[in-house]
Structure 1
Amino acid sequence: MASPDAQPADPLASWLGDRLGVDLVERRPVGGGCIHRAWCLQLADGTRLFAKTNQAAALPLLEAEAEGLLALAAATGEGGAPLLPVPMVHGRMGPEAVLVLSWIDLDRGRSAAQPSPWHRLGAALARLHRRSLSQACIAADRPGAAFGWPTDNFIGSGVQANGWEEDWGRFFVERRLAPQLERLAATAGRMEGADALLALTPGWLNGHGAQPCLVHGDLWSGNAALTVSGDGTVFDPAVYRGDREVDLAMARLFGGFPDAFFAGYEQEWPLPGDHPRRCALYNLYHLLNHANLFGGTYRGQCQEAIRALLDHSPG
């Protein structure tokens, strides 16, 4: 008979034992995103793992995250590419969904005052983008020179439409801007100028030689960090094959990336000189997604962005 003071067994312990053959000693909550619960898992051999848990219905989000991390890891190559928390196992644990990753010691106290690691991370992202175009990296996930991804995935907790399209401008309209605008229209009415913007966008985006690079897809400062060893890392992706400029544009949207990051990228693979003119258009997608997920002032920001884009063509 069990002691009345005995603590119930952690169901994650038996789950990890069956899946990975490891012994869980302790799990404690750690800071994470706003969607899942995050945990540090202390193992009997002294090592640690990182886990995310959520209700079973959230398993598709964790599966998409695992797929994206594996794709990025496959494209990083060698020579200073960012370390990635490569997925180890994911699935259902009774009423919960679980994703277990390698543990990485992050040092969020490092800032622009320490530019060298950020410079290396920017260069590593450029190498990832360029290497992802090699035949060795594309065979499994895309046909020919198409933009997109084999399946829909997620941007935050919102569905990100994918599929394949050979025309980059049309892909960005039909799989990025239009679904977000339609979702927003269903709850708050059609945005002024939305139809005109959608009509003009393909022409704006098809003249600078965009290539179907593997992109992180959600590269704001909360999804990148330095480690205690001074390396850089990225996580929580929303991957697809698109213009590499989308990652650099979002890295500027909410701030947090120092100049050294962009300098490192430019040194490794310079961007077209007119790249800044497309940033607002690419970032409109993320503003629309925030408006759909969080409401508030984001709708007004979207309307202002659409008006500015129509008044000042990004070319």
Structure 2
Amino acid sequence: MWETISKSISDATGIELVIRGHQSLSGGCTNQSYRVETDDHIFFVKRHQEVMAPMFQAEFEALKELESTQTIKVPTPICWGAGEGHAWLVTSFLDLKACKGDALFELGRQLASLHKIQQPYFGWKRDNTIGITKQPNPPSRDWVSFWRTHRLEWQFKLARDKGQSFSGADALLNGMGRLFDHYDPQPSLIHGDLWSGNIAALSDATPVIFDPAGYYGDPEAEFGIIEMFGGFGRSFFQGYESMRPQHAGFSRRLPLYRLFHELNHYN
């Protein structure tokens, strides 16, 4: 397998590389992760079963899109591939530390800058995954309809398929539009799965985000999982709101965005 990954990296970089060693890393929730060394380079490799190749392809494309905005640091995507029963994603290796203090404030500022990147429609150019769960991203001009159908209804369906029931789901879905009566979100690029385990910093306090489940949506949707798990600290929110103050009604809409992540973690 490592010989095949070596060739994949060589084809992507145009440099003949041979993997000399690999070290298993901890911390991944769904994948096996490695620090991989060649004679002159160090890479980060994530590996899963071959059937998960589309997940890595989507993550590769999301990292490319995030990196192209030049708003916030992400690992540089190198290549992805599949073979011999495995799928893999290769990125630059970054020596990361905890994101705290000034780095959290700057993370907030840079995330707000990312959220200013817009396109004409909600969704993305392809479906992707959040964790290992499929995430539909068809283009839509109507945010409320998109969130209702392709986030909440989708997750409710997955949960019902596992035998769960939700007595108030229909009322919630039918009434959620009222939360947007005086708020018209624009399709903005978001990370999509920005919990504290997907942020870090470099030694110079440059913030880094990774493991995206990105698409174009309401920037407020980014905060559902942030609020769910916490760990960002007051300085992060101060940095964000110094660039992009939250709109009226944010606190009323936030449970709607948190619900999606709660359902996803159940599923």
2:143 touches 2:185 (CA, 8 Å); kept in 1? yes
**CA offset at residue 82 of structure 1?**
2.3
Match of 1:37 among 21, 26, 32: 32
Q: 1:206 to 1:147 in 2, by over 3 A?
A: farther
**CA offset at residue 228 of structure 1?**
2.0
Of 237-246 and 249-258, deviating more is 249-258
The amino acid of 2:113's aligned partner reads R
1:37 touches 1:54 (CA, 8 Å); kept in 2? yes
Q: 1:230 to 1:28 in 2, by over 3 A?
A: same
Question: Equivalents in 2 of 1:9, 1:217: separation in Å?
Answer: 31
Q: 1:19 to 1:263 in 2, by over 3 A?
A: same
| Identical pairs, percent | 34
The alignment partner of 1:169 has SS state of helix
| Partner residue in 1 for 2:90 | 100
Match of 2:72 among 82, 88, 96: 82
Give 1 or 2 for the bigger CA radius of gyration.
1
Q: 1:32 to 1:203 in 2, by over 3 A?
A: same
The amino acid of 2:74's aligned partner reads L
Question: Equivalents in 2 of 1:82, 1:18: separation in Å?
Answer: 27
The alignment partner of 1:270 has SS state of coil
Question: Equivalents in 2 of 1:189, 1:107: separation in Å?
Answer: 39
Match of 2:154 among 179, 186, 211: 179
The amino acid of 1:59's aligned partner reads A
**CA offset at residue 162 of structure 1?**
1.5
The alignment partner of 2:5 has SS state of helix
1:39 touches 1:52 (CA, 8 Å); kept in 2? yes
Per-residue CA deviation, residues 13-68 of structure 1 (Å, 9 max, x unaligned), is 444345432232211111232211101011201x3110111111110111111111
**CA offset at residue 248 of structure 1?**
2.5
- The answer to whether 1:116 aligns with 2:102 is yes
Question: Equivalents in 2 of 1:32, 1:90: separation in Å?
Answer: 20
Give ranges in structure 2 of 5+ residues lacking alignment.
none
2:179 touches 2:249 (CA, 8 Å); kept in 1? no
Of 29-38 and 233-242, deviating more is 29-38
Per-residue CA deviation, residues 189-209 of structure 1 (Å, 9 max, x unaligned), is 430100100101123235312
**CA offset at residue 188 of structure 1?**
2.0
The alignment partner of 1:148 has SS state of coil
Question: Equivalents in 1 of 2:150, 2:86: separation in Å?
Answer: 30
- Within 5 Å, give how 1:240-279 maps onto structure 2: 240-279=215-254
Question: Equivalents in 1 of 2:18, 2:204: separation in Å?
Answer: 27
- Within 5 Å, give how 1:95-244 maps onto structure 2: 95-108=85-98, 111=100, 115-130=101-116, 132-133=117-118, 138=119, 145-244=120-219
Give ranges in structure 1 of 5+ residues lacking alignment.
1-7, 139-144, 293-315
| Partner residue in 2 for 1:62 | 56
Question: Equivalents in 2 of 1:241, 1:12: separation in Å?
Answer: 31
| Partner residue in 1 for 2:9 | 16
The amino acid of 2:55's aligned partner reads L
Of 146-155 and 203-212, deviating more is 203-212
The alignment partner of 1:188 has SS state of coil
Post-superposition, which runs of at least 4 consecutive aligned residues in structure 1 deviate over 3 A? 8-20
Per-residue CA deviation, residues 245-273 of structure 1 (Å, 9 max, x unaligned), is 11123212101111111110000111113
> Which of structures 1 and 2 has the larger relative contact order (alpha carbons within 8 angstroms, sep 6+)?
2
| Partner residue in 2 for 1:312 | none
1:83 touches 1:232 (CA, 8 Å); kept in 2? yes
1:52 touches 1:99 (CA, 8 Å); kept in 2? yes
TM-score of the superposition, structure 2-length normalised?
Answer: 0.93
Question: Equivalents in 2 of 1:62, 1:283: separation in Å?
Answer: 25
- Number of residue-to-residue matches in the alignment: 265
1:153 touches 1:160 (CA, 8 Å); kept in 2? yes
Question: Equivalents in 1 of 2:2, 2:225: separation in Å?
Answer: 43
